[in-house]
Amino acid sequence: MKVKAVFFDAGETLIHRNPSLATITHRYLLKAGKKVNRAKLNAVLLQSAHDMKEIVQKAELNDTEKWHVYMDSVLKKLGIKDNNLKNEVIARLKRGTSFRVYDEVWGVIKGLKKAGIKAGIISNAPRDLKKVFDRLGLTKQFDWIVVSEDAGVEKPDKKIYELALKKCGFDRENVIYIGDNYLADIMGSVAAGIKPVWLLRETKDAQFTFKAGKAPDGVAVIKSLREIPNVIRQYGGLK
């Protein structure tokens, strides 16, 4: 195969929250007078994310609906009943103002462009992701941005990958997809016949990576986007 295009996931792949989801949630809990141990909150956030495994697999809820299910689970586990608090936290998270770009992203994208390889995004996100990318200076770095709100389906549904293929105009054999979420990114791209690369960052604040699961045979596993040139070199596309 010859790699002509690379599609990326967005959250925890190209961008991350700083302050993190845990920090933002903890701040709002304290503001509402809810004293919660930070270690306990971290554990609850992680468990609630894993409890959503079936919801992620079915890909039937939109971004906002998933946030409500998730935060309902978090607050219930903490023994808190406060809809106003839940809505405030969700509104803050969905504004996307805490997102930052991982340091290595700029160099990786520059390298792809230099090699004549196109770059795109496939993300389970609302259209507002484009505003986040505008603020971060990322929008012009990508040839295509496909978000679930526009596609009408979410990863791991293969239809969103097929829409991305249609937009880029390349055969699936010439495209690879990079993401951190085993269910949505790896299994989704496999179902669509696109070669996946599983990004397993060593970070303590990634609540939605779903690291549980064994990479299918032939799936490259990396710890940093800096490893992408080597992966592409193996597949074909870089000298």
Instruction: Identify the CATH number of the domain in which residue 88 sits.
Output: 1.10.150
Last residue of a domain, one of 42, 69, 95: 95
Q: Give the domain extent around 41.
A: 19-95
Q: Name the domain boundary from 95, 119, 143.
A: 95
Task: State the amino acid at position 173 in one-letter form.
Answer: E
Phi and psi angles of residue 179, each rounded to the nearest 5 degrees, phi first? -155, 165
The total number of structural domains in the chain stands at 2
> Scanning the structure block, which residue is given the tokens 């929008």?
139
Quote the longest CA-to-CA distance of the chain. 58
CA dihedral 106, 111, 114, 118 (to 10 degrees): -80
Write the pLDDT tens digit of every residue in 167-212: 999 999 999 999 998 888 999 999 999 999 999 987 655 445 555 5
- Write the pLDDT tens digit of every residue in 21-74: 999 999 999 999 999 999 999 999 989 988 887 887 777 788 788 899 999 999
Element (H, E) at 122: strand 118-123
Q: What is the CATH number of the domain that holds 157?
A: 3.40.50.1000
Residues 77 and 34 in one domain: yes
91 in the same domain as 128: no
**b vs e for 197-213, b when ≥16 Cβ sit within 10 Å of the residue's Cβ?**
bbbebeeebbbbbbeee
Q: Which two tokens stand for residue 125?
A: 């996100």
Same domain, 49 and 28: yes
